[in-house]
Amino acid sequence: MRGTIIGQILTDHLIEGQIDPGQEIAISIDQTLTQDATGTMAYLQFEALGLERVRTERSVSYVDHNTLQTGFENADDHRFLQTVAAKRGIYFSRPGNGICHQVHLERFGIPGKTLLGSDSHTPTAGGLGMVGIGAGGLDVALAMAGMPFYLRAPAVLGITFLGELPAWVAAYDVILYLLQQLSVSGGVGKAIEYRGPGVSRLNVPQRATIANMGTELGATTSVFPSDEVTREFLRAQGREEDWRPIAADAGAEYEEEMIVELSMLEPMVAAPHSPDNVVAVGELAGMPIDQVCIGSCTNSSYQEMMTVAQILRGQRVAEGLSLTISPGSRQVLEMLARSGALADMIAAGARILEAACGPCIGMGQSPPSNSVTLRSFNRNFRGRSGTLSAGIYLASPAVCAASAVAGELVDPRELGEPPSVQLPKRFLVDDSMIVQPAEDARSVNIQYGPNIKPVPEQRPLADVIEGEILLKVGDDISTDEIMPAGAKILPLRSNIPTISEHVFEPIDQDFAARAQAQGGGIILGGRNYGQGSSREHAALAPAYLGIQAVLAVSFARIHRANLINFGIVPIEIPSQDYERCQQGDELRIKDIYATVQNGDRLIVENVTKGFSFTGDCQLSARQAQVLLSGGALNWAKQRLKGEER
Ligand code: MIC
Ligand code: SF4
């Protein structure tokens, strides 16, 4: 850690603790971002803290996830978000202005600063040399209140890039290659720092693509140096004054190291249903494809979109195949339009969607039953497209565009000369869709709609947890399976009682009803439980259904923090005990208060089968306090009160 970029930025922001991998530290947060789907809850929680204005250097609220407005719910959410932003000192990026991570990179990110976002892909900002971390909305609300963010200090994995990307090989192929090598849990407990001569040959949007998908590796954050390339990008965005150089010290110490020879890489594809199920495109070439979707926070920069336009120029989308394109921001979309590239896309038969998350989060464009959809996105978990029976494949925008024309998976290297796209000297800068906070906050009334329900009261922690294993699930369960998104469910994000009826729906349709009938219970999970999204609804809604504990072989970082924030005890158990317990078994866990407080191991009694085993909560002193206070909101309120005195 010593001398690394991550070590330097964490040290600059350290408030409590010692930066040793695995130890809990508290850092100050310079900037926050929220998006609409997690933002409404984050701001409801911020309101519950009772502060007048945010206390960060810069907080931005984006509307990008739910822009379908199939009913009044979304529109009400947008109005709520805009009025809260105006009143509380937050910049508001209006619907249509683009995907949070892309716009933040273009307009707000600053090298060397910390950014906490209520979205798991917040590390995208690492492309600019910023430490971006994804968290639950409540943690972001606390950061907006000026409170530190607590995390386990990561170990630093230094990845050295040598050489240069060959023709037709994209930044996306680099991260798919890393996923193939390291798996979706390979980055857990780590921060990834990129270095070496190959880095200077990647521009900022390419670096951002790689940093973005470090999330799929399970990494806490991913960071690139801030160098002349970064400076050039910021200059082209008209904000060179935000630049400062950041590099690792000569003797920087990495806990782990890896070398990637960029020139050896080739176009890759991730097959269903996991982003680490990666093979070379060549291995699946010729596979028929029904739908292609290009865009998302991973791959919707100007450069990627121009590449797509050049591949599509003069071509036609294959018969029977639907191609959608969602540019990452209004800046990108307008530049495509003014350059004529948009016309090439339209002429080829592409369906142009607005600059938003769109199909990536299942907001429209669900593919047909049992079909194959090829996407330039970052996740291909089962059901994420909105069609449970469809297989989602992930590949670079170039592979996607070439395949859309052919109607089957194509290795673009067959197309001959690759498009040559340079970043412009000047991007088209127009911030008119970013609303500044009101100067006179008193003039603004926060507007709530009927679907916006208050944050539910937290039940106090029980000293004895007794209940049935309501559901036993396997390894790598994602939050998309725990609390699905998509066009039907996303509009319910501001309404916990209603959204909780959909908990675990893709796995077990009856789960919510069973939990309600039993008045709660326990969930049993395998390894890496809760990977994927930062959505705190995957903890908040189960808590509302009365879930008191989740037992799992291991947990994903953000989800574990969210469970604690909402008073659910995360208990790690040995895999042989996971095997021995079954759905329907009655469990009893006693002396919770004492064990939480003293950091001891817990004894879990399987009453049905008549055996006991030990579990471990591995709580820091602060996390114990949070659980004992009945969740992070109560805990934070107590602290803010203490501050007033
Ligand atoms: C996602 O990609 O799953 C999301 C939607 O952006 C989530 C946030 C959410 O659930 O609102 C994420 O990645 O954190
Ligand atoms: Fe939006 Fe998809 Fe990125 Fe999540 S992963 S922020 S849904 S584009």
**pLDDT tens profile 230-281:** 999 999 999 999 999 999 999 999 999 999 999 999 999 999 999 999 999 9
Cα(120) to ligand 1 centroid in Å equals 6
DSSP for residue 640: H
Q: Nearest residue CA, atom 3 of ligand 2?
A: 297
Burial pattern 160-169, b for ≥16 Cβ within 10 A else e, equals bbeeebeebb
φ, ψ for residue 140, nearest 5 deg: -70, -40
Give the C-alpha separation, 341 to 419, whole Å: 13
Predicted TM-score (pTM) of this structure: 0.98
Q: Nearest residue CA, atom 10 of ligand 1?
A: 535
Domain boundary among 230, 264, 298: 264
Looking at the domain assignment, is residue 62 inside a domain?
yes
Looking at the domain assignment, is residue 421 inside a domain?
no
Give the C-alpha separation, 7 to 248, whole Å: 9
Cα separations (Å) of 541 from 125, 140, 552?
Answer: 29, 18, 18
Detail the DSSP E strand segments found in 411-566: 434-435, 465-472, 521-525, 547-552
DSSP for residue 360: G
305 and 228 together in one domain: no
347 and 303 together in one domain: yes
Give the C-alpha separation, 115 to 354, whole Å: 26
Question: One-letter amino acid identity for 444?
Answer: V
Give the C-alpha separation, 258 to 280, whole Å: 21
How many angstroms separate the first and last alpha carbons of the chain? 38
Shortest CA distance to 323 belongs to which of 272, 375, 383?
Answer: 375
Determine the atom of ligand 1 nearest the C-alpha atom of 378.
Answer: 2
Q: Nearest residue CA, atom 2 of ligand 1?
A: 533
DSSP 2-70: TTSHHHHHHHHHEEES---TTSEEEE--SEEEEEHHHHHHHHHHHHHHT-SS--SSEEEEE--S-----
260 and 282 together in one domain: no
Shortest CA distance to 257 belongs to which of 161, 176, 170, 189?
Answer: 161
Shortest CA distance to 404 belongs to which of 381, 380, 372, 377?
Answer: 372
179 and 231 together in one domain: yes
Q: Is the CB of 481 under 6 A from ligand 1?
A: no
Structure tokens given for 258: 């890896």
Q: How many CB atoms lie within 10 A of CB 3?
A: 15
Task: Give me the residues of the chain with pLDDT under 50, please.
Answer: none
274 and 255 together in one domain: no
Domain boundary among 415, 431, 448: 415
Q: Is the CB of 65 under 6 A from ligand 1?
A: yes
Give the C-alpha separation, 611 to 608, whole Å: 8
Could you tell me the residue range of the domain that residue 303 belongs to? 268-415
Shortest CA distance to 438 belongs to which of 2, 41, 28, 54?
Answer: 54
Q: Which residues contact 594 (CB under 8 A, 6 or more apart)?
A: 600
394 and 542 together in one domain: no
Looking at the domain assignment, is residue 458 inside a domain?
no
Looking at the domain assignment, is residue 616 inside a domain?
yes
62 and 195 together in one domain: yes
Q: Is the CB of 58 under 6 A from ligand 1?
A: no
Which residues on neighbouring strands pair with residue 391, listed in sequence order? 372
Helix (H, G, I), strand (E, B) or coil at 514: helix
Looking at the domain assignment, is residue 444 inside a domain?
no
Helix (H, G, I), strand (E, B) or coil at 320: coil
Each residue's pLDDT tens digit, 211-220: 999 999 999 9
Best residue among 297, 354, 385, 478 to mutate for probing ligand 2's pocket (most ligand atoms within 8 Å of CB) is: 297
Helix (H, G, I), strand (E, B) or coil at 242: helix
634 and 489 together in one domain: yes
- Secondary-structure percent of the chain, ordered helix, strand, coil, rounded to 5: 35, 20, 45
Residue with tokens 């006991």: 612
Domain boundary among 234, 264, 294: 264
Residue-level pLDDT at 459: 84
47 and 145 together in one domain: yes
Q: Can you give the three-state secondary structure of 154-179, one letter per residue?
A: CEEEEEEEECCCCCCCCHHHHHHHHH
Residue-level pLDDT at 458: 85
Structure tokens given for 445: 């009334």
Best residue among 64, 65, 122 to mutate for probing ligand 1's pocket (most ligand atoms within 8 Å of CB) is: 65
378 and 301 together in one domain: yes
Please report how the helices 302-312 and 397-406 are oriented relative to each other, as an axis angle in degrees rounded to 10. 20
Q: Nearest residue CA, atom 2 of ligand 2?
A: 360
Looking at the domain assignment, is residue 72 inside a domain?
yes
Q: Nearest residue CA, atom 6 of ligand 1?
A: 119
Confirm if 203 and 302 have CB atoms less than 8 A apart.
no
Confirm if 4 and 253 have CB atoms less than 8 A apart.
yes
Ligand nearest to the CA of 297: 2
Residue-level pLDDT at 645: 63
187 and 46 together in one domain: yes
φ, ψ for residue 450, nearest 5 deg: -65, -20
Give the C-alpha separation, 617 to 620, whole Å: 9
Cα separations (Å) of 140 from 88, 150, 172?
Answer: 14, 11, 28
Which residues on neighbouring strands pair with residue 25, listed in sequence order? 151
Q: Is the CB of 382 under 6 A from ligand 1?
A: no
Cis link prior to 104 (omega < 30° from 0)?
A: no
Give the C-alpha separation, 287 to 269, whole Å: 12
Q: Which residues contact 345 (CB under 8 A, 6 or more apart)?
A: 308, 309, 312, 325, 336, 352
Question: One-letter amino acid identity for 581?
Answer: C
Confirm if 390 and 368 have CB atoms less than 8 A apart.
yes
Ligand nearest to the CA of 135: 1
Looking at the domain assignment, is residue 166 inside a domain?
yes
Structure tokens given for 543: 């808590």
Q: Is the CB of 535 under 6 A from ligand 1?
A: yes
Please report how the helices 171-182 and 204-212 are oriented relative to each other, as an axis angle in degrees rounded to 10. 30
111 and 157 together in one domain: yes
Give the C-alpha separation, 643 to 575, whole Å: 44
Cα(119) to ligand 1 centroid in Å equals 5
Q: Which residues contact 229 (CB under 8 A, 6 or more apart)?
A: 200, 202, 203, 204
Domain count, the chain: 3
Residue-level pLDDT at 643: 78
Cα separations (Å) of 511 from 226, 503, 520, 545?
Answer: 48, 7, 11, 10
Q: Is the CB of 120 under 6 A from ligand 1?
A: yes
Looking at the domain assignment, is residue 442 inside a domain?
no
Cα(362) to ligand 2 centroid in Å equals 10
Residue 205 sits in a domain whose CATH number is: 3.30.499.10
Determine the atom of ligand 1 nearest the C-alpha atom of 537.
Answer: 10
